[in-house]
Amino acid sequence: MTAAARLLAAALLGAVAWLVTLSVAAQSPTLTVTGRDSTRTFAQKALLAHPEVRSVTVADPVYRRTMTYRAIPLAVLLKGIRIDADDHLQARAFDNFSVSLPGRLAASTDIAQIEAFLAIEDPAAPWPALPDKPDKSSAGPFYIIWRRAPSVTISQEYWAYHLAALTVTDSPLKRWPGLAVGADVPAGDRIRTGLDRFIALCMSCHRFNGEGEGNQGPDLGRPMNVTDYFQIPALKKLIRNPQSVRQWPDQKMQPVDPSALSDSDLDAIVDWLAYKAKQRR
């Protein structure tokens, strides 16, 4: 390429980038909801004008305070979409971070126990910046929030912010049977709790023995299982707060608070990891 051609190419690329930026800025954010045989797209503005939108006040574990949102019951948004008892809803954020919500919770109509809402940020009244987010972003434009009876606990990961898409999927164990615990392990065993907590809290970033779709952190099962190369007390410390073990500026894994993962549930995750290491041998 001559110097002139290169300049022209650079100018054209610049113009295209500018046009793309313009059209993105002009578009209202959308949420895509995909069932097994249909896809619907909702625009932020249209959702805010939906007759079922109301004010919902919740104790918000992500903002760590009481918050009031304009929100629509998730069950209303999912009306007409088949969600079987065992199905999950994959909630994907615009940065591709994703978490799997049990469908029976997300579409619950037993609202005395638990009710999920889609909170919609109004561009005219933006939400505050999320605590701990260096980019100062809010939880918007779409955010899944939960109203629940005091006896019901909800994994903090289920408060899915920066939401871009919801997709009905099979349960994680159906999709990734290699995670499962053997039939010889009794119901109620800690190893089962560990698997459940691992799916809820870790799989958004980590795969295990190649299973899952997390891609931010290392596979925790192979080539070597983490319980084979970490001393167990150090591994537990690391899961609780990675910075208590090692530090560098671009560290991504956040500490997990005992309110989101109790000490005994953390032990249970490590038990499950160790169980899977033994199962492989």
Nearer to ligand HEC, 120 or 273 (CB): 273
Compare residues 68 and 241 and give the one whose CB is closer to ligand HEC. Answer: 241
Q: Please check whether residue 182 is in contact with residue 106, taking contact to mean a CB–CB distance below 8 angstroms.
A: no
Q: Which is nearer to ligand HEC, 120 or 163 (CB)?
A: 163
Closest to ligand HEC by CB, 42 or 143: 143
Cα–Cα distance, 46 to 264 (Å, whole number): 45
User: Which CB atom, from 115 or from 157, has the smaller least distance to ligand HEC?
Assistant: 157
Q: Distance of CA 71 to CAs 38, 53, 55, 130, Å?
A: 23, 5, 6, 18
Least gap, CB of 79 to ligand HEC (angstroms): 31
- C-beta of 201: minimal distance to ligand HEC in Å? 4
Using the minimum distance from each CB to ligand HEC, give the nearer residue, 21 or 216: 216
Nearest CA to 216 out of 116, 97, 113 is that of 97
Please report, as ranges, the residues that interact with ligand HEC according to CB under 6 A: 201-202, 204-206, 216-218, 220, 226, 235, 238-239, 242, 251-253, 256, 261, 269
- Residue pair 164/142 in contact (Cβ under 8 Å)? The answer is yes
Give Cα 73 distance to the centre of its chain. 19
Amino acid at 140: G
The minimum distance between CB 231 and ligand HEC, in angstroms, equals 12
Please check whether residue 222 is in contact with residue 209, taking contact to mean a CB–CB distance below 8 angstroms: yes
Phi, psi of 26 (to 5 degrees): -80, -20
For residue 278, the minimal CB distance to ligand HEC (Å) is 17
Q: Rounded to the nearest whole angstrom, what is the least distance from the CB of residue 217 to ligand HEC in the complex?
A: 3
Query: For residues 91 and 166, what is the distance between their CA atoms, to the nearest angstrom?
Result: 5
Peptide bond into 141 cis (omega under 30): yes
- Gap between the Cα atoms of 145 and 74, Å rounded: 9
- C-beta of 61: minimal distance to ligand HEC in Å? 15
Instruction: Give the separation between CA 281 and CA 264, rounded to whole angstroms.
Output: 26
Query: In this structure, what is the dihedral angle of CA atoms 59, 65, 67, 71, given to the nearest 10 degrees?
Result: -50
Shorter beta-carbon distance to ligand HEC: residue 34 or 155: 155
Amino acid at 38: S
The least CB distance from residue 143 to ligand HEC, in Å, is 17
